[in-house]
Amino acid sequence: MMLMEHEEGRAYVRAMFSAVPLVEAKNEVAKAILVDKAKAYLRLLKDHIQKEDEILFKIADDVISPDEQKQLLRSFEEHEAEEIGEGVHEKYLKIAVELEARTR
């Protein structure tokens, strides 16, 4: 189920990327498609993250020891620093907060 949701999310992202050039060319149908796919993706993400928080992570807490969790966190932090770069996470978090503020 969770893996299927990942593929569904990727399909929404592909559809949105495909619509962007047409939206930039003032195509109203493409704009409607982009908005529709973005809203669907948002609903999917909210539901998916809720499942992760309420089910998956609780299971992980039961099967992964605290020491292993600390090592896992260090590995994520190292990956972010080496592969993604300093400040990138914060940059996109700021964009998300700004976009959310616009929808209110």
Average pLDDT value for residue range 36-58: 94
The mean pLDDT of 68-74, rounded to a whole number, is 95
| Residue 66: band (very low, low, confident or very high) from pLDDT cuts 50, 70, 90 | very high
- What global pTM score does this model have? 0.69
DSSP label at 85?
-
Look-up of token digits 């807490």 = 61
Number of other residues whose CB lies within 10 A of the CB of residue 48: 17
Q: How far is CA 38 from CA 9, 11, 50, 71, 104, in A?
A: 10, 11, 18, 35, 16
Amino acid type, 14? R
Q: How confident is the model at residue 55 (pLDDT cuts 50, 70, 90)?
A: very high
pLDDT at 104 over 90: no
Residues 9 and 41 sit within 8 Å (Cβ to Cβ)? yes
Q: Is the pLDDT of residue 82 over 80?
A: yes
One-letter identity of residue 18: S
How far are the Cα atoms of 18, 27, 38 from residue 31, in angstroms, in the given order?
11, 6, 10
Picking from 48, 54, 56, the residue whose alpha carbon sits closest to that of residue 9 is 48
Q: What is the pLDDT of residue 17?
A: 93
pLDDT at 100 over 90: no
